[in-house]
Structure 1
Amino acid sequence: MDLRQLRYFAAICEHGSLSHAADHMRVAVSALSHHLANLEAELGTPLFVRKPRGMQRTAAGERLYGHAKMILKAVNTAEADVRGGGGEISGLVSIGMAYSAVKAIGVELATRVLTDYPRVQLALAESLSGSTLAHLMASEVDLALVYNPPSDAVLRTRPVLEEQMVCVGKPEIIGHSDDPITVNELLELPIILLRQGISARAIIEDVNLLKKIEGRAKLQLNSVQAIAGSIVAGLGCVIGTKLFMQDQLESGAVHYRPIIEPQLSRTLYICELADRPPTYAIETMRDLILSLVSAAVHDGRWEARLIDA
């Protein structure tokens, strides 16, 4: 198996037919078919089911495509990094961010990249914190801003900041008072929970308390917009940060109360895969992100405590 075979195979996967893949790769259909046949013979299994209107991946083809994407991305990144090592920072950098991080620094990050690093291709993906971690583990992003990631040898993590969690909801749900609400009082309210998939710890780090909250939740949603709309509609309350519901709080549509006994917090980390050497572009973007986060906290745009790593 060589890189040319993988590139041809990936092209067939992405374009759905030999003819479309051949046009994209600018090679003859017969050459593409020959390389695919050799690859299937080498692996001892069919990678596609030939159909009248295209090619459908087999289970083996699906698995190989996942590996091929990671391998080809790593090769392209290495080539761009070495070529640009002595000059202007360049190359593709994919960054995954939890919703709150995008809200705080997403636009500023994009602006700075366009202004200061015009040869960097920035791919910015917003998702729930658990999904962001999954994208990193699958090598779909190079850097990820994730809340409370699990301890894992495959990850290289650095704590960035800590945020205090609050209870947000309509006053008729959580009360009109500005006084703190205890966790026991909170558990009696109709809680709407942001489902976090593989990283439920993104809400809080206390696993036992998290299980209690999950057990009492009236709704568990995977959509930030759905949660915000449900809170404004008075369907329940949410455990989050003031930044998470900033627009609704500023408009007066909802109210917040601090949480005590115990106080709840979450920690934001910047994460990378430990076995992937960072490129010049990735190192530059990491430093830029840390700088923007620090500025947002110092300016009061992000209510949090910076962690000095």
Structure 2
Amino acid sequence: MELRQLTALLTVAEVGSVTRAAKLLHLVQPAVTRQIRLLEEELGTPLFERTRHGMVPTPAAEVLIMRARRALDELDRARAELRPEPGEVTGIVSVGLLESVLEILAEPLTDAVARRHPGIELRLFSGYSGLLQQWLDTGEIDLSLLYNLSDTPSLWVAPLLREQLWVVGPPDADLHVGSPVPWATALAHPLVLPVSGHGLRALVDRARSVAPVQPRIVAQTNSMLLQKQLVLAGHGWTVLPAAGVAADVAAGRLSGAPLTAPDVERSVVLGVQHRSRLIAPVEAVASTLTRLVGELVRSGAWPAATADARPRAAGG
């Protein structure tokens, strides 16, 4: 099994066509076809189904694609780390970001890493906390923001901040940031909520167990964007961390207010895999991310957030 064969496999799978893959790889089409055929012969199984919609990976190919992508990523990292400029930290670092913090963190993090460590290539992935934790456990990402998590057998966790949850409605709901809303009032409205198993949903369910109201849930989703779209369309209210909705509230697209009685916060943490020593580029990005989050909290750019009182140095 050769690297060029794995590269051909991934490229065909991504574009769905041998012809397009050949153009991207600057090869003739028969050369790409031959690489795929050699892989199939070595493994003893077909890797693609040829359909009118293009080349569709078989279940066997999906397994190989996942492993091949990881192997090629590791080789890219090794090349970057073995060719550093004197005194420069180089490499590829994959970072997981919670969907709710993308607007306030993705661009500043990219800018900060580019300024402080221009030899590092940053790869950003977003999702809800449970999915990011899975990617961290399997090594698909190097570090990630997560919430409401302590150290696990596979992960080391550093607390960063605590943030308040808001109830969110359409503009005519007339919710105001300076006027907290009791959970009982929020739960009396039709609700659009995250799906069960989502970390934010667990916080909502905890508050529901205290408030004496049986809510009417009209929709559940794993997408924060969809939560906000359904609220704007008039299907109900929702619950989100302030960071995920403050810009919409400020622009008048939605209205929102802190939730109270009971007060429910989520803890945002930085998670990395347990290792005896963090490699230099991962440690550099972890330190930059930790510093940046602190700056955003202190300046008020991360709304309704307070620094966690239990900070620890990355990797320790």
Is contact 1:159–1:270 with CA below 8 Å preserved after alignment?
A: yes
Alignment CA distance shift 1:175-1:62 (3 Å): closer
- Give the whole-Å Cα distance in 1 for the aligned partners of 2:110 and 2:95: 11
Question: Unpaired segments of 5 or more residues in structure 1?
Answer: none
Structure 2: unaligned runs, 5 residues or longer: none
Q: Supply the AA of the counterpart residue of 1:44.
A: G
Conservation of the 8 A alpha-carbon contact between 2:165 and 2:239: yes
Alignment of 1:67-146 (within 5 A): 67-84=67-84, 87-136=87-136, 139-146=139-146
Q: How does 1:227-238 map to 2 (within 5 A)?
A: 227-232=227-232, 235-238=235-238
- AA aligned to 1:201 is G
Offset, 1:31? 5.4
Q: Give the stretch that moved more between structures: 60-69 or 150-159.
A: 150-159
Aligned counterpart, 2:8: 8
Q: 1:247 to 1:16 in 2, by over 3 A?
A: closer
Q: Is the 8 A contact 2:207 2:264 kept in 1?
A: no
Shift of residue 295, structure 1, vs aligned partner: 0.7
Residues in 2 aligned to 1:163 and 1:52: alpha-carbon distance in whole angstroms? 50
Shift of 1:24: 4.2
For 1:266, the aligned partner's letter is R
Please state how far the C-alpha of 1:290 moved relative to its aligned partner.
0.5
The 5 Å alignment of 1:1-309 reads: 1-18=1-18, 20-26=20-26, 32-50=32-50, 55-84=55-84, 87-136=87-136, 139-149=139-149, 152-169=152-169, 180-195=180-195, 199-205=197-203, 216-232=216-232, 235-251=235-251, 254-260=255-261, 262-274=262-274, 278-302=278-302, 303-307=304-308, 308-309=311-312
TM-score (norm 1): 0.78
Q: Which amino acid aligns with 2:83?
A: R
CA distance in 2, matches of 1:299, 1:210: 32
Q: Which amino acid aligns with 1:145?
A: L
Work out whether residues 133 and 149 of structure 1, in 8 Å CA contact, stay in contact via their aligned partners in 2.
no
Per-residue deviation, 1:287: 0.8
Report % sequence identity. 27
The alpha-carbon deviation at position 60 of structure 1 amounts to 0.7
Q: What CA deviation, in whole Å up to 9, does each residue of 1:185-215 have, x standing for no partner?
A: 44333222134x7x51234458655789997
CA distance in 2, matches of 1:14, 1:251: 38
Q: Check whether the contact 1:89–1:117 (CA below 8 A) recurs between aligned residues.
A: yes
Deviation of 1:165 after TM superposition, in Å, equals 1.8
Give, in whole Å, the separation in 2 of the partners of 1:53 and 1:177. Answer: 50
